[in-house]
Amino acid sequence: MAATTTYKYEIMDAAGKRRKGTIQAANRDAAMNELRTGGNFVVSLNAASVLDKEINIQIGAAVKPRELSVFCRQFQSVLVAGVTVIEALGMLGEQTENKVFQKAILDVRDGVQKGETLSNAMGQHPKIFPDLMIQMIAAGEASGSLEVAFDRLGTQFEKESHLKGLIVKSMIYPVILIMVIIVIVIVMMVKIVPTFTSTFDSLGAELPGITLAVMGVSDFFVQKWYFLVGGIALATVILKTFQKTETGAFFFGRLGLKLPLFGNMNLKTACASLTRTLSTLMAAGITLVECLGIVEKIVKNAVVQQAIKQAQKDVTEGRALSSSLEESGVFPPMVYHMIRIGEETGNMESMLDKISDYYDEEVEMATQSLLAAMEPMIIIAMAGVVVPIILAIMLPMLSINNAIG
C-alpha cells in the first residue's frame, strides 16, 4: 500500500462557505485535485504537523444509538428545510463532538461530492453506520422519500437507546452491591482474619470448625492469591473462546433465554428489537426476505438468530412468517398471533409497531421487577458471606472469655 501524507486544508465550496479539515493523499497534487472536486476553491493546503493530527481514543462502541438518533433527527429536519444532502452532511459533521463520528460524516460528504449515493458512501464506514441504516437510506433514495427514512431511523435509534439505557441503569445498583461484597470479603480475608489468626495461635485454644475453615480460606487469599487470579483469568479465556464457537454460541443463547429472572427479560428484549426493526425496514419498501436477512445480523442471541434465519428460508419458499416463528418454539404466542393477523389483513407494519410498543413496555416492567427481586437477593448473599466470617472470629473470642471468666 502506497504511503500517504496528511494535509491540512481550507477550502471555499461552490456556495461560498469556508471549510477546514485534514485529508490524506499520496502527494500535494493528488490532495489538491481531490479537494477541487465539486467546484471547491482551495484557499490553503499544507502538510499537517503532529499537533494538527487528531488523536482519538475510543472505549466501547465508536457511535452510540443516541448519537445516531440525534443525527437522523437533525438530518431529517434540514432536508425538510430544503438543504441539500452535501450541505446537511457538512453542517452536521462540523457540529458533531464525537471525533470518530465527525470524521465519518465528513468522509461521507466527500464521497457524495464525488458522485456516490449517500447509502454507498455510508457503506464505506460499516462500524459507524449499521446495516439497517444503510438499507433504509438506500430504499429512501430509490423511492425519493429520504426524509421519511431518516424519520423512521430516528425513532428506531431512540427506542434502542432508551431500551439499552434502561437496562444499564437497572444494573448499576446491583453491580455496586456486588462490588461492595467483593471488597468487604477481600479486606476481611487479607487484613482482619490474619490478625485474629495470630492471636488465636498464640493462645493455643481449640478452635471451632467454622473458624478453621475461614482461616484456611484466608491463608489461601494471602499466600496463594495468584492461583485465584490465574484461575479466574483462565476461566474467562476459556469461556470467551467457547462462546465464539457455534456450540458455545447456542449454549449461551439458550442459557440467556432460560435463566431465572433474566431469561424473560432477554426474550422480551429480542421480541421488541425484532418487530421494531422489521416494521422500520418494511415501511421503507424493503421486501420481507431482505428485512429478515438484515435483522438476523442485528440480533445477538444465537438461538433467536437461527429462528430468524429459518424464517427467512421459509418465507423465500412461500410460507407465512407467523407459521415459521410459531414452529421455532422461541417466540411467545403474542408475536406470531399478531403477525398472523397482520398477514391476513395486509396491515403488517402496523401490527409490528403494536407488538414492538407492547414489548417495549414489557421490557421496562420486567427490568423494574428484576431490580426489585435482585436487591434483597444480593443483600441475603452479602449476609451469607459476611456472617460466617464474623462468626468465625466471634465464637473463639467468646470461648476464651468464658474460659477466663
The predicted pLDDT at position 234 comes to 92
Are domains 65-160 and 172-405 of this chain identical in fold? Answer: yes
Decide if pLDDT at 49 tops 70.
no
The pLDDT tens digits of the residues spanning 114-132 come to 888 888 888 888 888 888 8
CATH topology for 65-160 is Receptor-associated Protein (1.20.81)
The predicted pLDDT at position 137 comes to 87
**Domain edges within the chain:** 5-47, 65-160, 172-405
In terms of C-beta density within 10 A (0-12 exposed, 13-18 middle, 19 or more buried), how is residue 158 classed? Answer: middle
Contacts of 42 (CB under 8 A, 6+ apart): 9, 10, 11, 32, 35, 36
- Mean pLDDT, residues 251-269 taken together: 85
Cβ 282 vs Cβ 291: under 8 Å: yes
What does 56-106 look like in DSSP terms, one character per residue? ----S-SS-HHHHHHHHHHHHHHHHTT--HHHHHHHHHHH---HHHHHHHH
Cβ 85 vs Cβ 111: under 8 Å: no
The predicted pLDDT at position 61 comes to 52
Contacts of 136 (CB under 8 A, 6+ apart): 149, 152, 153, 280, 281, 284, 286
Helix (H) or strand (E) run with residue 205 in it: none
**pTM exceeds 0.85, yes or no:** no
The pLDDT tens digits of the residues spanning 280-291 come to 888 777 888 888
Place of cell 455496586: 176
Decide if pLDDT at 50 tops 50.
no
Count of CB atoms situated within 10 Å of the CB of 145: 16
CA distance 319 to 311: 9
Range scoring the smallest mean pLDDT among 64-73, 75-84, 165-174, 318-327: 165-174
- Mean pLDDT, residues 124-148 taken together: 83
Range scoring the smallest mean pLDDT among 87-96, 121-130, 228-237, 382-391: 382-391
- pLDDT-based confidence at residue 316 (cuts at 50, 70, 90): very high
The predicted pLDDT at position 264 comes to 84
Distances 14 to 11, 42, 247, 400, 405 between C-alpha atoms, Å = 10, 11, 57, 92, 98
The predicted pLDDT at position 237 comes to 92
Distances 223 to 164, 187, 193, 196 between C-alpha atoms, Å = 42, 14, 13, 16
Percent of the chain predicted with pLDDT > 90? 7
Of the options 1.10.540.10, 1.20.81.30, 3.40.50.720, 1.50.10.10, the CATH number for the domain spanning 172-405: 1.20.81.30
- Mean pLDDT, residues 84-98 taken together: 86
Give 263 or 167, the one with higher predicted confidence: 263
Decide if pLDDT at 404 tops 70.
no
The predicted pLDDT at position 210 comes to 81
- Mean pLDDT, residues 92-119 taken together: 87
Cβ 193 vs Cβ 215: under 8 Å: yes
